Structure 1
Amino acid sequence: MNIITKPKTKVDTQILEQIITQENVERQVIVKCFLENGSMEQMIRIWQSTFLVPKERGTKSKLLNADNITFFPFWTFIKPNQKYNFTLIFEGLPRDCTVFDLIEEIPQSGGFSITGINRNQTDVYHVQI
C-alpha cells in the first residue's frame, strides 16, 4: 500500500516579504484629485509623505507615483479660475479596510487631508481638494 504524503515547503522570510510587497503593489489604489482654483494663481505640489490611512487598524499605504502634479520641492502653477486635476497612485489597502483617510503628512502648514473615504470595489476614487 502506497501512502502519499505532501512535501513540506519552507519559504524564506525575505522572499515572503517580497511576495507580500508585490501583492500590495499589484492592488494599487488610484485617487483622482480635482481642484477648482479661485481668482488668484495658486501653486501646489505633493509630498512623498502622503498616505492612505485605514480607519480600522492596518498599515498606511504609501504613495507610489503621481501624474500631473510635481513632487516636493518643485511647484505646479495653477492659473486663476482653472479647474485642475491630478492622479495619485498608492499601494493597495489592507483587504479588510472599509474606510480610509488621504493624509499629506508634511512639516509645515498647508498639507491636506480628506477623511472618511468609503472603500469601493474598484479602488478608484475621486476627491475634491
Structure 2
Amino acid sequence: MAEKRNTKQKQVIYSVIKELKCHPTAQQLHQILVERGYNIGASTVYRVLADAVDDGIIMNVFSFDKNEHFDGNPVPHYHIICTKCGRIFDSHVPYDPEIDERGRLADEDFIISSHNLEYVGICPECQNEQE
C-alpha cells in the first residue's frame, strides 16, 4: 500500500478543522478555507476529509440536514443537535465505553466496535431568539 503524502494543503485542512468549534460540512469547510485566503480546491477538501475519517484523524457526524459534518476531535464523545438551527455541538456528558459492552452482551451475533449518541434539543442562542 502506498504511503499517503502529507501535503501542505492537507496540513492546512487538518489545522483548520481541528481549530473550529463547529462541525462543518465539506462545503462549509471549503468556504472557510477560501475566506481565509487558501487556494484549495473543493475536491481536495472532500478527498482529504474522507481519508482523515478513514484514518481516524477526524470523525464524521450526520445531522437532520442529511449532510455529513466533520469534527476535528477524534476522541469519542457525544453531540447535541439543535432542532431549530441544525448546528451540532459537543456534549459535556462523558463518553461511556460500557455502552459498547452492553451492546456486545445484548446482541451477541454482532461485533460491536463503538457507539454514537446524539442529544436533540434547542441551543441557547435559539432559545434566546424565542424570548
TM-score, normalised to structure 2, is 0.27
- Between Structure 1 and Structure 2, the one with more helix by share is 2
- Between Structure 1 and Structure 2, the one with more strand by share is 1
Q: Which has the larger radius of gyration?
A: 1
